[in-house]
Amino acid sequence: MENNDHDDILKPEGSDDDTLLARWLAGDLSQADLEALRNLESYPDYVEMLHALEGMEMEEFSPTLAWQKLSLQLAVEAEEAQKAKEMAAEEVYVEGTAVEVQPPLPEALQQPEAKIVEIGTKQAANPTLQTVNRQPSIVNRKWLAIAAAILLGVVGIWWFAGRDPFSFTDTDYVTKAGEKKEVKLPDGSVATLNAMSKLGFTTSDWTDGRSVVLEGEAYFKARKGKTFSVRTEQGTVEVVGTVFNVYARGNELEVKCAEGKVQVINPEQTERVLLKKGEQVSILGGKMQKRQGLASYPNWFKGESTFRSAPLGRVFEEMERQYGVLVLADSLGERTFSGKFVHGSLEKAVKMVCDPMKLNCEVKGDTVWVK
Amino acid sequence: MKQCSHETIQQCSHILPLPPWNHSQLKNVCHEPTYRELFYAHSRHVRNFLCYKGAAASEAEDLMQEAFLRLWRDCAKVPIEKVKSYLFAVSGNLFLDEKKHEQVVLKFQRQAPMEEATEENPHFDLETKELQDRLEAAIAKLPENQRVVFLMNRMDKMKYAEIAERLDLSVKAVEKRMHLALVELRQILKGI
């Protein structure tokens, strides 16, 4: 075997080891190779170049916006394909022969959603169609396309967005009543889950895009990096690297930005709002409301729940989640609550809410009666 | 020890790789949530890849969209494990089909380099801005295949194996391009 340790030190980089620098960047070099590399005259240049590069980034890109564009286009195509199919079907009826629009797929690849596969059938079906003049005039087609775009845009977004978001995650965390959980994400970002919440993500695709799905409430510390998105049924939150709280329950989404900047997008993706430090936004039944100043800094993870002008119903719901109890109230009306309750003791918590509100509350086992 | 027979193949999937027919049934591209997930996972990288090839940002985004549209039309023919190489190949071809590209349009956003950068080389900070400008110009002068690999690794933080998978190259080939890109960048910067 040839010993070329000596050569390694003397030769200029790359003369016969044509992957040295690549392996260096990947941290794959042996101690000896590393030593040799550091002795090279050009080594400081590489270090300098790579450091300068650290501060350079690609222009930002919003996958959510891009998806909106794409799903609109897909919906229009689906409509066109449907039309072509209907026309083909009529044609078949007249001629009494089956039109094979696509070569049959191998058994294993055939989809239950066959309708979708047929997006590509328009051209294939055309040769039979051209003999019969059913095509609307150019003008009509243009208007048809516009109408289809408007109509199907809405349906399309719903169609592509309205599925169980957890069906494609491979790592899910769920908290029970009264439970909190700190979840380390693959990039070192941290999500703290409040009681009765669910967080999911796909580990295998994590390096491709930082994205989690949330049901319930969580406090995020996202490390700096590519866009970090939190998708909920009530809307999407996008950040680059910051600290923020997301509350997504019922028909309400509330996002509080504690540091940096946070972008919130409604489920229809027609509205977006940029939050700066100390701002919050809520989407209630599809309506967006931005508020300046943290109404209540999220500190449920420090052992108490804080509220500012929150509907009493929501306060007691939070109590149910924190203590795993049932709260039975006659009627809370439109009353709102500002204050907090602790997580350590149910008796104390009930007192902290009921006393200032002049409510008559009683704890019986797992049930809290409110009169 | 658990025996893996034909019947228990589902439970044993962690031991045995799933046969391809089974795999495509479990998760396939025509399934809308899967397709959407693929878009969220790869759209940025495909768009960046087109920028690295030399497309302007808006053109890169349009071509990326077109590549995904084609993926949807071809969804029954593209097995899930081939999606990445499909997207990069298709978008690369779309880029080639576009009108000739006279110049590489690569613009980077600037940030001050990370704090640690100063430890190894204290003079670094002073010249950073100027160096970044020269670096941007030098990157544009790299041969395309080196530039693409180099930036996928440096900007998108992809490992060599991940780049190899997407570009349908061997890891060794990716390493070579990476190495060469660094050597050439330095030579361009030094005016060698």
pLDDT in tens, A98-143: 444 443 333 333 333 333 333 333 333 333 333 333 444 444 555 5
Q: Which residues pair with A268 in a beta bridge?
A: none
Q: Inform me whether the pLDDT recorded for B118 exceeds 80.
A: no
Structure tokens at B11: 């439970």
Residues A281 and A184 in one domain: yes
Of the candidates A54, A75, A91, which is a domain's last residue?
Answer: A54
Residues A287 and A171 in one domain: yes
Which residues 22-41 of A are in CB contact (within 8 Å) with B?
22-23, 25-26
Residues A193 and A286 in one domain: yes
Distance CA B185, CA B187 (A): 5
Domain B117-190 CATH assignment equals 3.40.50.300: no
- At residue B187, the pLDDT reads 93
- Nearest-Cα distance to chain A for B3, in Å, is 25
End-to-end Cα spacing for chain B: 63
Give the CB-side neighbour count of residue A75, counting CA atoms within 13 A. 23
Q: What percent of chain B has pLDDT over 70?
A: 74
Phi, psi of A332 (to 5 degrees): -95, -15
- Nearest-Cα distance to chain B for A208, in Å, is 5
Q: A340 vs A48, A143, A249, A296, A298, CA distance in Å?
A: 53, 57, 19, 10, 11
Strand ranges in chain A using DSSP code E only, listed in sequence order:
56-57, 171-174, 181-184, 190-193, 198-201, 210-221, 228-232, 235-239, 243-249, 252-259, 262-265, 272-275, 280-284, 287-291, 304-311, 326-329, 336-342, 361-364, 367-370
- Nearest-Cα distance to chain A for B97, in Å, is 21
Residue tagged 């340790």 (tokens): A5
Residues A279 and A332 in one domain: no
**A139 reaches B (C-beta below 8 A):** no
Number of domains in chain A: 4
- Residue A234 forms part of a structural domain: yes
Which residues 219-238 of A are in CB contact (within 8 Å) with B?
226-227, 229
pLDDT in tens, A274-299: 888 778 888 877 677 777 655 455 67
- At residue A236, the pLDDT reads 86
Mean pLDDT score, A171-176: 88
Distance CA B192, CA B188 (A): 6
- Nearest-Cα distance to chain B for A58, in Å, is 5
Question: Which residues, other chains included, contact A155 with Cβ-Cβ below 8 Å and sequence gap of 6+?
Answer: A75
- The better pLDDT of the pair B91, A224 is held by B91
Residues A182 and A281 in one domain: yes
CATH number at residue A213: 2.60.120.1440
Domain B26-97 identical in fold to domain B117-190: no
Residue tagged 């070192």 (tokens): A188
- At residue A149, the pLDDT reads 59
- At residue A91, the pLDDT reads 56
Residues A28 and A88 in one domain: no
Winning range, highest mean pLDDT, from A242-251, A351-360, B141-150: B141-150
Q: Inform me whether the pLDDT recorded for A15 exceeds 60.
A: no
Which residues 42-101 of A are in CB contact (within 8 Å) with B?
42, 44-61, 63, 66-67, 69-70, 73-74, 77
Mean pLDDT score, A140-150: 59
Q: Inform me whether the pLDDT recorded for B25 exceeds 50.
A: no
DSSP tag of B112: P
- Residue A62 forms part of a structural domain: no
- Residue A312 forms part of a structural domain: yes
Q: Inform me whether the pLDDT recorded for A335 exceeds 50.
A: yes
**A173 reaches B (C-beta below 8 A):** no
Would the CB atoms of B47 and A61 count as touching at under 8 Å? yes
- At residue A4, the pLDDT reads 39
Interface test with B, best of A41, A46, A54 (most B CBs within 10 A): A54
| Residue numbers in A near B120 (CB within 8 A) | 47, 51
Distance CA A218, CA A172 (A): 14
Q: Inform me whether the pLDDT recorded for A221 exceeds 80.
A: yes
- At residue B168, the pLDDT reads 93
**Domain extent for A246:** 167-291
Residue ranges per domain, chain B?
Answer: 26-97, 117-190
- Residue A90 forms part of a structural domain: yes
- With H, G, I as helix, E, B as strand and everything else as coil, classify residue A131: coil
Closest residue on chain A to B149 (Cα):
A22
- At residue A57, the pLDDT reads 84
Q: In the structure, what pLDDT confidence band is assigned to residue A328 with cuts at 50, 70 and 90?
A: confident
- Residue A59 forms part of a structural domain: no
Q: In the structure, what pLDDT confidence band is assigned to residue A153 with cuts at 50, 70 and 90?
A: low
Phi, psi of B39 (to 5 degrees): -65, -50
Closest residue on chain A to B27 (Cα):
A168
Q: Inform me whether the pLDDT recorded for A333 exceeds 50.
A: yes
End-to-end Cα spacing for chain A: 89
Would the CB atoms of B76 and A117 count as touching at under 8 Å? yes
Would the CB atoms of B72 and A74 count as touching at under 8 Å? yes
- Nearest-Cα distance to chain B for A267, in Å, is 15
- Residue A282 forms part of a structural domain: yes
Strand A326-329 relative to strand A367-370, pairing: parallel
pLDDT in tens, B62-112: 999 999 999 998 988 999 889 999 999 999 999 988 766 667 777 777 665
| Residue numbers in B near A27 (CB within 8 A) | none
Distance CA A14, CA B181 (A): 11
Would the CB atoms of A54 and B64 count as touching at under 8 Å? no
ipTM greater than 0.85: no
Choose among A26, A63, A161: nearest Cβ to B160.
A26
Architecture of domain B26-97: Orthogonal Bundle (1.10)
**A123 reaches B (C-beta below 8 A):** no
Distance CA A21, CA A13 (A): 8
Residues A202 and A155 in one domain: no
Phi, psi of A303 (to 5 degrees): 100, 15
Residues A203 and A285 in one domain: yes
Tell which residue, A70, A169, A87, has the closest CA to residue A131.
A87
- The better pLDDT of the pair A244, B150 is held by B150
Distance CA B190, CA B128 (A): 16
- Residue A297 forms part of a structural domain: no
Q: In the structure, what pLDDT confidence band is assigned to residue B14 with cuts at 50, 70 and 90?
A: very low
Per-position DSSP letters for B120-164, written without gaps between them:
H-TTHHHHHHHHHHHHHHHHHHS-HHHHHHHHHHHTS---HHHHH
Distance CA B138, CA B182 (A): 11
pLDDT in tens, A300-325: 777 888 887 788 888 888 888 888 88
Residues A256 and A188 in one domain: yes
Q: Inform me whether the pLDDT recorded for A12 exceeds 60.
A: no
- At residue B166, the pLDDT reads 94
**A211 reaches B (C-beta below 8 A):** yes
Per-position DSSP letters for A172-236, written without gaps between them:
EEE--TT--EEEE-TTS-EEEE-SS-EEEE-STTGGG-EEEEEEEEEEEEPPSSS-EEEEETTEE
Residues A171 and A129 in one domain: no
Would the CB atoms of B73 and A120 count as touching at under 8 Å? yes
Choose among B21, B40, B107: nearest Cβ to A59.
B107
Q: In the structure, what pLDDT confidence band is assigned to residue A2 with cuts at 50, 70 and 90?
A: very low
Mean pLDDT score, A252-276: 82
Q: What percent of chain A has pLDDT over 90?
A: 4
Q: In the structure, what pLDDT confidence band is assigned to residue B186 with cuts at 50, 70 and 90?
A: very high
- Residue A296 forms part of a structural domain: no
Choose among A66, A202, A209: nearest Cβ to B65.
A66
CATH number at residue A330: 3.55.50.30
